[in-house]
Structure 1
C-alpha cells in the first residue's frame, strides 16, 4: 500500500511519473559501471522499462526500501547562459580555459591566472563579455555560451587548480557588507554590480580556486549538463549528493520548500551529481535547469530539508 510503513507520510509526492526518465538514465550509467556496482540495481532497472502509465509510485515502492537520512539542508544550482565568442574582441575579453596538463600550471591561483598566467598555452575555449558571469560559471561547473552566429557552446566541468575553494559570500559577511540571513547569489551579484571595479575584482580573487572546462558535444538542448554519474541532468529531479554516503544513481525522496514562494516540494529525485560543498547525510544540491527562472530559484535556495534514500530491496 502506498505510504505504508517506513515510507514518508506524504509519499509519493509530486508527479512520480516524472522521475522515471531520469531513473532510467541512472540505470544506463549503472549498467555501464563495474559489475559489482551494477548488480543490486539490475532487476529494478529492468522492471522500470515496463512500468505502465500511472504506475511509477507503485514501482518505486515495490522495488525499493526507504531509509531516512534525517533533516538537513538543500541548496540549488543551475546551468548559466553567457554571451561569448570563439575568438577575443568586440567586448569578449574574459577567457574560459581548458584543463592544463599536470604540472606547475595547475598550481596557479585565480589571481595568477587572471594576470595572464595561462596565456600562450592554447588553452582558451572561448571568451565571454563579463568577468562576474565567468566567475559564476565556475561556481556552477557548466554552462551554455551563446555565440555570435547563433550556435550554443556547451561547456562541462573538466577539473580545477590545486587551491581550496573559498566562498566570496563568506568574505562579504565577514566584512559586514551583506547580512548572513540576506546572503544569496543575487545579493552577491548586486554587491559586485555596485562596487568599484577594482574592489569587485579583488573580492573575486579572494577565492583562489579556479575551474577549467571541456566542450560537450551532442547534448540535447532540452537536457541539462552531464553530471558526475555521466548522464544529463534533469531540471528539478537531479540532486548533487555526498557520494561517500549516497550511492550515485540512487533515487531519493526529497521534502523541502520552493525558495521563491515557500510552497512545499515533495518529490522523487535522483542522485546524479556531486559538489565540493555537498557533504553530509541529509545534504543536497537541487539542479533547477537553465535560464533566468532557474537562476533565480538556485540563487535563493537554502532550505531545510528531509531526505529518504531509496535502496533496492
Structure 2
C-alpha cells in the first residue's frame, strides 16, 4: 500500500509539470509507454522508440493506468513468499535461477502475441496446484497491454535457465508444421497408403510396476482389458489365464511410463515395428488412404496433418497413439536411392522398398473390397503363425500407379478396388487379366507379392480424426497450437503448458533470429533433451519451407509459477545446496497425464 501511495504521489507531481515539457521530448515506446519510463532500465534492455501517436495520451493518465495494471497483477502474499528462486536439478537437466532482465529481448518481445497461447495453457492447468492463482489473475490483465502482461509474468513466475546436465546452456531449435496431403476414403489408383487409427490389439503395461525378475528374462503376466498385469509367481490351480511376458528390449514412453505390447498366442511381446506394420502385420482401422508415402511419414513425425479428400473437403488428423518403439531417424546417405525430406531439423531418407513374396500370401481367400474401408477384417484362421494386415488378407497384390515424384512404388491393393467389380486402377504394372481372377485364390499364387515399407525407423504413429478449425492442431497438452508461439519440448525437462523463453545464439538482427516467449504445448519422439525446442510454424507450404530451414543454437528459460510444488527445488532449499547434487526425479513436475515420474 505504501508503494502504491508513493507512486500516486509521483503521478500528481509529474502531472503538475507535464504542461511545461516540450512535446518533442516525449517519445513513446511499446504499449504507449513513455520512453522516459523505460530509461530506468539498462541501455541494452531499452525498447527501440516508435513514432508517437497522433494524439498522445497525457502522461498522468498513462502512469495511472500503469499503476492500476501493476496492482491488478500483484500476486497474493502466499505466491510472493513461495518464490523459492533457487537452482535445482533433475536427472535430465539443471535449472539455474535467473532474473527476467537476463532474458535476451525480454523487454522488447511483444508478449501480447503469446497471450492467447498462455490462456490456452490455463484452460488445462488452471485448476492444478500452483497454477490456479496466476491463471485466475490473468483474467484481469489487459491482453492489449504488453507492459501489463510483462509485469504479470514477473509477478507470478520465477525464471530458470534450462541447462544440460553438464551445466552447459546451449541446445537446438528446429521447426515443424502441419502438412497437407491428398487422400481418399476408398483404396485405389494412387491412394494406396493407409492412415491408421489406434490398433485394436494394443496392450499397455505400466513399467513402474514391473518386478525386477521381469527385466532381461521372461516372466508371467495376465491381461485385464487392455492392461497387462505382471505376476510375481503362479500357484498351482490358479484359474486365471497366464501368459509369458517377453519384454525383450522394450522402452517405456517418457510421458506415461507405459510399454506398448501385443498378444502373440501365449506370449505378450512388444508391439509391431514399422517394418512389420508395413509388411502387413497390423489390426487397426483405416481412416483414409493417401498418395504419397514420404509425406505420410512426414505427417507421422510432425504428429498431425490435414488431408484434402477427392471431393475437396479437408480432414484433420491428430496424434492418437504410437507403437512404443523408439524413434530412430533414417539418416540420409550420400548418393542414396531413397526420397529425401527434412523433418524437425533432420535430413532423412525414406527407403520405399519392394520385398518378394514368401509364397504364404498366395493362398489367402478373397474378401469383399469394403473390408479395406474399416480396416479390420472379419475373420482370421487360428492356424496362422503371423497376424495379417487388413490390407493384405483378402486383397490382390499388384504394382502401384506412379507417384508425382516419378518413381513407381509397389503396394498392396485390395481386390475389386478402383471402381466397379473387375475394374482396375490405370497405371503401369496393373494387369487386367490378373484382376479378372481376383476372386480366385488359385490365381493369386502366381501374382508377385510387392510390399512397401520404410525399414530404418521402428516407430509408427497412429491418428484420430478431429474437427477442422482455423486454430492449429491439438498438441500433447490437449489444446490447439499457436503458430509462432507454441513449441514442442521434452516434457521431462520442460513442463507442458509452461511459458518458455527461447533465444537463438545468432545475431538478434540476423534472419531467422528468435527471442520470444512461447508456450510448451507439444512433444514428440524426436524432441529429447534439456535445451531442446521445436518451433511450430503453422499449416501449409510456407510453414513447411520455414520449418525445413530451421536449425539453430539456442538457450532456453522456463517460467514456473511461484507457488508450483517442485520436489527437486524443495530438496535443494532444505540442503541449502542450490541444487548442487543431482536429483533422482525424472520430471520437473510429476503429473498423471503430462509427465508421470518413475516412482508409482
Query: What TM-score does the superposition give when structure 1 sets the normalisation length?
Result: 0.83
Matched, 1:23 2:118: yes
Computed over aligned residues only, the root mean square deviation of the Cα atoms, in angstroms, reads: 3.0
Q: For the residues of structure 1 that align with 2:325 and 2:554, how far apart are their CA atoms?
A: 31
Q: For the residues of structure 2 that align with 1:194 and 1:87, how far apart are their CA atoms?
A: 23
Q: For the residues of structure 2 that align with 1:92 and 1:279, how far apart are their CA atoms?
A: 34
Partner of 1:275: 524
Among 478, 482, 485, the residue aligned to 1:230? 478
1:46–1:295 distance in 2 versus 1, CA, 3 Å: same
Within 5 Å, give how 1:121-270 maps onto structure 2. Answer: 121=283, 123-168=285-330, 170=331, 172-173=332-333, 176-177=334-335, 184-185=342-343, 188=348, 204-217=454-467, 219-220=468-469, 222-256=470-504, 262-270=511-519
Following superposition, the deviation at residue 202 of structure 1 comes to: 7.8
Following superposition, the deviation at residue 162 of structure 1 comes to: 3.8
- Which one has a larger percent helix, Structure 1 or Structure 2? 1
Partner of 1:44: 134
Q: For the residues of structure 1 that align with 2:492 and 2:324, how far apart are their CA atoms?
A: 21
Q: For the residues of structure 2 that align with 1:9 and 1:114, how far apart are their CA atoms?
A: 47
Partner of 2:185: 86
Among 114, 139, 143, the residue aligned to 2:278? 114
Offset from partner CA, 1:259-308 (integer Å, 9 cap, x none): xx733211110011111222222111111111011111212211101111
Q: For the residues of structure 2 that align with 1:66 and 1:224, how far apart are their CA atoms?
A: 27
Q: For the residues of structure 1 that align with 2:407 and 2:311, how far apart are their CA atoms?
A: 33
8 Å CA contact 1:83–1:129 kept in 2: the answer is yes
Following superposition, the deviation at residue 177 of structure 1 comes to: 3.8
Task: Give the match's secondary structure for 2:280.
Answer: helix
Partner of 1:60: 153
Following superposition, the deviation at residue 216 of structure 1 comes to: 1.3
Partner of 1:285: 534
Q: For the residues of structure 2 that align with 1:104 and 1:279, how far apart are their CA atoms?
A: 30
8 Å CA contact 1:14–1:266 kept in 2: the answer is yes
8 Å CA contact 1:20–1:48 kept in 2: the answer is no
Offset from partner CA, 1:233-257 (integer Å, 9 cap, x none): 1111111112112111110111126
Q: For the residues of structure 2 that align with 1:157 and 1:191, how far apart are their CA atoms?
A: 23
Following superposition, the deviation at residue 232 of structure 1 comes to: 0.6
Q: For the residues of structure 1 that align with 2:341 and 2:196, how far apart are their CA atoms?
A: 29
Q: For the residues of structure 2 that align with 1:143 and 1:267, how far apart are their CA atoms?
A: 26
1:42–1:232 distance in 2 versus 1, CA, 3 Å: same
Within 5 Å, give how 1:91-102 maps onto structure 2. Answer: 91-100=190-199, 101-102=201-202
8 Å CA contact 2:99–2:159 kept in 1: the answer is no
Unmatched runs of 5 consecutive residues or more in structure 2: 1-39, 46-97, 163-168, 203-261, 265-269, 353-404, 411-450, 563-600
Q: For the residues of structure 2 that align with 1:29 and 1:154, how far apart are their CA atoms?
A: 22
Q: For the residues of structure 2 that align with 1:183 and 1:109, how far apart are their CA atoms?
A: 21
Partner of 2:222: none
Following superposition, the deviation at residue 226 of structure 1 comes to: 1.0
Following superposition, the deviation at residue 64 of structure 1 comes to: 1.7
Alignment length, in residue pairs?
A: 293
Following superposition, the deviation at residue 128 of structure 1 comes to: 0.5
Q: For the residues of structure 2 that align with 1:162 and 1:280, how far apart are their CA atoms?
A: 19
User: Which one has a bigger Cα radius of gyration?
Assistant: 2
Partner of 1:35: none
Q: Which has the higher contact order (CA 8 A, sep 6+)?
A: 1
8 Å CA contact 2:177–2:536 kept in 1: the answer is yes
Unmatched runs of 5 consecutive residues or more in structure 1: 33-37
Following superposition, the deviation at residue 111 of structure 1 comes to: 2.5
1:122–1:72 distance in 2 versus 1, CA, 3 Å: closer
- Which one has a larger percent strand, Structure 1 or Structure 2? 1
8 Å CA contact 2:274–2:453 kept in 1: the answer is no
Following superposition, the deviation at residue 78 of structure 1 comes to: 0.9
Matched, 1:304 2:566: no
Partner of 1:76: 175
Following superposition, the deviation at residue 45 of structure 1 comes to: 0.9
8 Å CA contact 1:12–1:267 kept in 2: the answer is no
Q: For the residues of structure 1 that align with 2:530 and 2:537, how far apart are their CA atoms?
A: 21
